[in-house]
Amino acid sequence: MASWITKQVHRYEQMRFDQEPRRRTLSFVWGLEHIGGAGNGESPRAFLDRYVGDAVARSDDWYSVSPAHDYAVTDNVLTFTSAIASPWPENNRVHAQLFPARNKRAAVVVLAQWNARWEEQRNVCRWLQRLGVTAIKMSLPYHDRRSIPGHPRADHLVGPNIGLTMQAARQAVLDARRTLRWLEGQGYERLGVLGTSIGSAIGFITMCHDPAVRAGAFVHASTYFGEVVSHGMTTTNVWEPLSAEVTREELIRFWLPISPFPYIPKLTGAGKKILLITGRYDPTFWPEFTNQLLGKLRAERVAFENLSLPCGHYSMGVWPFSNIAGYRFGRFLQSALAK
């Protein structure tokens, strides 16, 4: 029975993947200039081994950020300058859609999935709003209003450019933290994050590094950024050029600073409320990696709740799974941020 369900879910997932438009396969690039690399003759692997070890060991500094100096709200859209200056000005202006609730004390930063459009997940935000929780949906780097010329898809948030992908994921975390600082400035005292797919990874890292985040709900969960890219269905066009130059083990290590797994010990004793909603037959965030993450949380004595649904990655977003997941994370965040 389980095998039959797996085949049906994977058939649906493949169909949805094949329907996605404008998917491109870019060339492999080390991209060390995006993370402070210099042409001093050092090999890319040697530079990354040194850089990655330092970034993880000093992650509180690597992910530290000050509030923006130019917050502005027009028609319930918050804008501000990103803490990281990428090579594209369009990407360096953060846009976040605001859904204010009457309760001015609880708020959640919503981080959508890879290649989410501007109008996506508005129903999620309106659901939180109805529950009395203000939602603010932040556009991820290279998405929608932050997209750059020639790249309608967010090719540079997850791509075969090692350094640029690392810079972009770090930028997303710093943008989320700047959004949290704006919420605090507006008087919100009880803050949470809600992330889906790559938004889940970004939100998880944000929660690990930001003391103000009391609760996090994460739809899809995995261990390492490089593990998802090298094994997942939705990133085959990214892994293809990477696989010609680096091994899976190398990619996991190179992208360790932008992975949730190494930061789990920061949650021990932190008292944060955590909900993980996962797909039992997910061919993008494979169940074995999800189970490793859950096992690590237990080993580090981090309390969490988990809802495992008989679906995959895309199918999490359709009825009835979308309704079940939405109800669960909505009520969870409402309760976790109630007092």
Domain count, the chain: 1
Q: How far apart are CA 147 and CA 290, in angstroms?
A: 30
Q: Give dist(CA 251, CA 259) in Å, integer.
A: 11
pTM over 0.85: yes
Sheet holding 77-81, edge to edge: 72-74, 77-81, 93-99, 134-138, 106-111, 190-196, 213-219, 273-279, 305-309
pLDDT of residue 224: 97
| Lookup: tokens for 338 | 């109630």
Q: Which residue has the tokens 């929780």?
A: 133
Residue span of the structural domain in which 72 resides:
2-336
Q: Which three-class secondary structure state does DSSP give residue 4?
A: helix
pLDDT one-digit tens code per residue, 61-120:
999 999 999 999 999 999 999 999 999 999 999 999 999 998 789 999 999 999 999 999
| 21, pLDDT greater than 90 | no
Q: State the pLDDT at residue 256.
A: 98
Q: Which helix (H) or strand (E) holds 70?
A: none
Instruction: Look at residue 20 in the predicted model and tell me its pLDDT.
Output: 78
pLDDT digits (tens, 9 = 90+) for 247-259: 999 999 999 999 9
User: What 3-state DSSP class applies to 93?
Assistant: strand
What CATH number has the domain bearing residue 286? Answer: 3.40.50.1820
